Structure 1
Amino acid sequence: MEQDFVKAHEHPSKNRYPDHLPYVEFMPCLKPIEREGSYINASFIDGYKHHRAYIATQAPLQSTVGDMWRMMWEVKSKVMVLLCAFEEDGHEACHPFWPQNEGDTAKYGRVTVTLQSEILMGNFASRTLLLKGDQVVGQEGEGRVVTQFHIDWPEHSQPVSTASVLELLDVVTKAQMNSGTRPITVLCNDGVGRTGTFICLHSQLERLKTEGVVDFFQAVKYARIHRAGLVQNAEQYAYGHEVLADFVHSYDNYANFKELV
């Protein structure tokens, strides 16, 4: 299936890596606003149950933080999963894009963000963020709550345990159930490796609970139709299988799974 990439030279300041670009067909174009472009390095990904169930995107640069929040606002995404640290291997992997202290508020482009709460849940954090758009993108006084889950998944290795990732997948699913069918926004430094692994795991767990079967290979193959290079290397591919196997082999989860199917 042939796809058209957005050309890297057209938006050099908006791409963290020139070789990780969205396909035009699946890019969530920003709404036209005078003197502001519609481009964002992000891609809609279909899920097991829903069309455009996810948005895979690079962690924002300083120049794209406002664009990322405008995308979140426009598609009404209410759940976000961040899979990287601010700095990795001595280089920026993600520019900070929310206030770091509870109760603080900061404006990013056309969206104001308030950190309402932050809770540590084992190996990951859960944050509640209140978004308010300006008069151009929103209605006066309109606020939306986004739940952000953040795990430090090392770029060149795996998380502490499969159990921590399974717990993260579970709380993300529950949060999404409470927020409707709007896309889950998933991001890492390039929006490809860790992001793709998480998305394929999430979709395959939904399939496993519904059909009693799983096919991580086909999940990756299908996801790559929407964004090139998702699940970047053999280690991430193997880790995806490991997480799914541990879910099935876990006694409690397996018992629940048997009841579901």
Structure 2
Amino acid sequence: MASRLSAEEEQATKQFLEEINKWTSQHGVSPLSWDVAVKFLMARKFDVLRAIELFHSYRETRLREGIVKLQPHEEPLRSELLSGKFTVLGVRDPTGASIALYTAKLHHPSKTGNHVVLQALFYLLDRAVESFETQRNGLVFIYDMAGSNYTNFELDLSKKILNLLKGAFPARLKKVLIVGAPVWFRVPYNLLSLLLKEKLRERVQMVKMADLRQHLPRDCLPEHLGGCLPLDVHSWNMQLLSEQNGRVDPVDELVGIPLENTSIHTPGAEAMSLAELMANLNRAQRSGIYLEYEELRREQPSGSFTCALAPHNQERNRYGDVLCLDQTRVRLKARRNERSDYINASFMDGYKQKNAYIGTQGPLEKTYGDFWRMVWEQSVLVIVMTTRTDEGGRRKCGQYWPQEEGGQEVYGHIAVVSHRVDNHAHYNQTTLELHNTETFEQRQVTHFQFLSWPDYGVPSSALSLIGFLGAVKYQQQWAVQAFGSQWRGHPLGPPMVVHCSAGIGRTGTFCALDICLSQLQDVGTLNICQTVRRMRSQRAFSIQTPEQYYFCHTAILENAQRQGLLSANQ
């Protein structure tokens, strides 16, 4: 394929592969092939940075929707592929673009869940864009609503399809033609159009059946849409399935590893038992642990900070030297008139759980709206704050939530109401209700603030912090159960937001303790050094001082002794 690219495109492909394969190596995912790299670059006109963002959006979308390994010969995906709901026509439009067709009247929400429908869409579109010609010339998507009624329509599914097409799929989307839309579709369409970026909104058009030939010639349209093309969806998709026999899905390499194993925090060969950890601490003493931390501190982050350093984003960073890695940063969803999707926040894995946390800085007044947007968009149920707003006469974090019971504030399009405040010995627990003023949805979030942790220092009582961690995890578990079927991701739920002032010191210590204690409970071993090294690859510079690193060791051992897992004499 390289010979079909210009010299500039080949150079862009090499640069893209160099950047992406740093990430794949770090996360234990198979390196990307040249052909797959070209597919992402074609979709973004060989703009390397935009193609890298597309790669991560695509991969994260598949993981979020649980579409990890597509198995087209197994049910229920096989039946969905043969249902005729989705197909790619065997012709191209006059510009060479492929034409994908979705037939709305064949969808019955009561019989087929969104998960299976999205699997089929991913599979068929992935097969369509394997063609170099389609990559170069793009894709036309026909949303055929002719003959459909309200029982065939599902707003959430339509949102997911448009979100996929607008920014999470490696194809040049030329246009989306919504054909034969019934009168009742006008209100849902207005809601859906708000999701779209301005450029894509221009490409999405509602078209009457009689006017469809103004957009596509008759020989590119099926007979039932006024064209002359015989449509045998079953035969076309059967051929696709027969070609798939013995063939590895080309996009499985992007998702890499099964969903339950995607976290970078899994037991390693050098894990220690509690007795070995105690012996290591006795041998190394505080000075040896401090030296171990110093070695970690000297390791430079593997990744880039391009977005965090962009001039228009720098004012959104609380500290100029605490930045987000491009590879793991949380991206705010696009909104009209918003220049940037940046927030100083990073996805961080937990023990055997991808994106268990969002590590972030203490919100600034100018970023309160961004913070609550992120909480809403990521379905966050629990916020963990490990700092006071002011310490030592210095502002560490803004008062970004209504503190008093009954208080309410509006941040951007999210209204936050404080329903209840419970004061404990070392922390406060506030029950908040979020109202999305655009969608009229509401959601409950619990805010925890730990009060016994001095900046740069460590808590005077390790057990108070571990007790606090237990309360946080219990609330997360309860909230996930209450969230019910609205949450379809990892069984442990959406990410918890964890922050201090900079979002690396106390935040990193809290997360490291949770990861190590979870592994200890699961398999009886842990590795603090490995955990911190891996954590710093996602939220750069996590754990800010040798004292915090040493505290991880002593806190775990103190907790083990309290539980009778170790004697004080060991």
1:226 paired residue number = 538
Q: Which has the higher strand share?
A: 1
CA distance in 1, matches of 2:436, 2:362: 21
> 1:240 and 2:552 equivalent?
yes
CA distance in 1, matches of 2:444, 2:460: 29
1:50 paired residue number = 353
2:445 paired residue number = 146
1:258 paired residue number = none
CA distance in 1, matches of 2:539, 2:304: 11
CA distance in 1, matches of 2:380, 2:449: 16
1:204 paired residue number = 516
1:4 shift after superposition? 1.3
Identity %: 35
Q: Residues 61-140 of structure 1: matches in 2 within 5 Å?
A: 61-135=364-438, 139-140=439-440
Residue deviations 1:56-84 (CA, integer Å, cap 9, x gap)? 00000010011001000000010111011
Name structure 2 gaps, 5 residues minimum. 1-21, 23-301, 481-492
TM-score by length of 2: 0.43
2:467 paired residue number = 167
Is the CA contact (8 Å cut-off) linking 2:456 and 2:544 kept in structure 1?
no
Structure 1 residue corresponding to 2:363, chosen from 60, 67, 82: 60
> 1:32 and 2:344 equivalent?
no
1:13 shift after superposition? 1.7
Structure 2: which amino acid aligns with 1:29?
Answer: R
CA distance in 2, matches of 1:103, 1:121: 19
Q: Which runs of 4+ in 1 moved over 4 A?
A: none
CA distance in 2, matches of 1:116, 1:160: 31
1:12 paired residue number = 314
Whose relative contact order is higher, 1 or 2, with alpha carbons under 8 Å and at least 6 apart?
Answer: 1
Q: Paired residues, what number?
A: 250
1:7 shift after superposition? 3.8
> 1:178 and 2:490 equivalent?
no
TM-score by length of 1: 0.92
**Secondary structure at the residue paired with 1:63?**
helix
Structure 2: which amino acid aligns with 1:223?
Answer: M
1:20 shift after superposition? 0.6
CA distance in 1, matches of 2:511, 2:553: 13
Residue deviations 1:153-178 (CA, integer Å, cap 9, x gap)? 21132223111101011111111212
**Secondary structure at the residue paired with 2:318?**
coil
CA distance in 1, matches of 2:384, 2:525: 25
CA distance in 1, matches of 2:378, 2:475: 17
Q: Which has the higher helix share?
A: 2
> 1:22 and 2:22 equivalent?
no
Structure 1: which amino acid aligns with 2:539?
Answer: R
2:208 paired residue number = none
Name structure 1 gaps, 5 residues minimum. 256-261
1:89 shift after superposition? 2.7
Structure 2: which amino acid aligns with 1:24?
Answer: D
CA distance in 2, matches of 1:219, 1:199: 10
- Report which of the two structures shows the higher radius of gyration computed on alpha carbons: 2
Residue deviations 1:172-211 (CA, integer Å, cap 9, x gap)? 1111212331001000100010000001111111111101
Structure 2 residue corresponding to 1:3, chosen from 283, 303, 318: 303
